[in-house]
């Protein structure tokens, strides 16, 4: 799977998290640079999600390149509800995630390092 498709799936999963917490005015931004993919999802969220600390822990699960294709298949395509294990799987596809919740706005930023050639 090409790198841009993986980036789209990552962004979709983060957007699904927002929707599951009733955040409906969502902005998603993707940037592809030489070192990798940067993604940012941002939007108003009237209450801080109770599972936010756990969510960041799941997203910062160490990336596992050797099992990446398997995880992509497990994450699937168009789910609207996720189980906890799905976010751990998402974490194995990214290298770093940060989350902020300030002034009733939730922001999730992710970074995925680019490895190898021909992955654009």
Nearest to 87 by CA among 12, 31, 7: 12
Q: Half-sphere exposure (CA, 13 Å, Cβ side) for 88?
A: 4
Q: Half-sphere exposure (CA, 13 Å, Cβ side) for 91?
A: 16
Enumerate the domain spans of the chain. 3-113
**Owner of token pair 């021909």:** 118
Question: Please, what CATH class does the domain formed by 3-113 belong to?
Answer: alpha beta
Mean pLDDT along residues 81-95 = 68
Residues 59-77 have pLDDT tens digits of 998 887 776 666 556 555 5
pTM of the entire structure?
0.81
Percent with pLDDT over 90 in the chain: 54
Would you state the structure tokens that stand for residue 110, as one six-digit string?
A: 């992710």
> Which of 100 and 87 is assigned the larger pLDDT?
100
The pLDDT value recorded for residue 119 is 45
**Owner of token pair 């995880």:** 71
The pLDDT value recorded for residue 32 is 95
């Amino acid at each position: 799977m090409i790198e841009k498709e993986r980036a789209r799936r990552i962004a979709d999963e983060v957007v699904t998290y927002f929707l599951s917490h009733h955040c409906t005015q969502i902005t998603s931004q993707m940037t592809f640079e030489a070192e990798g993919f940067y993604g940012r999802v941002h939007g108003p969220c009237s209450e801080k999600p109770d599972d936010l600390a756990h969510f960041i822990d799941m997203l910062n699960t160490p990336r596992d390149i050797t099992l990446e294709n398997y995880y992509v298949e497990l994450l699937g395509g168009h789910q609207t509800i996720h189980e906890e294990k799905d976010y751990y799987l998402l974490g194995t596809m990214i290298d770093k995630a940060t989350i902020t919740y300030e002034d009733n706005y939730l922001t999730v930023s992710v970074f995925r390092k680019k490895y190898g050639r021909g992955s654009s």
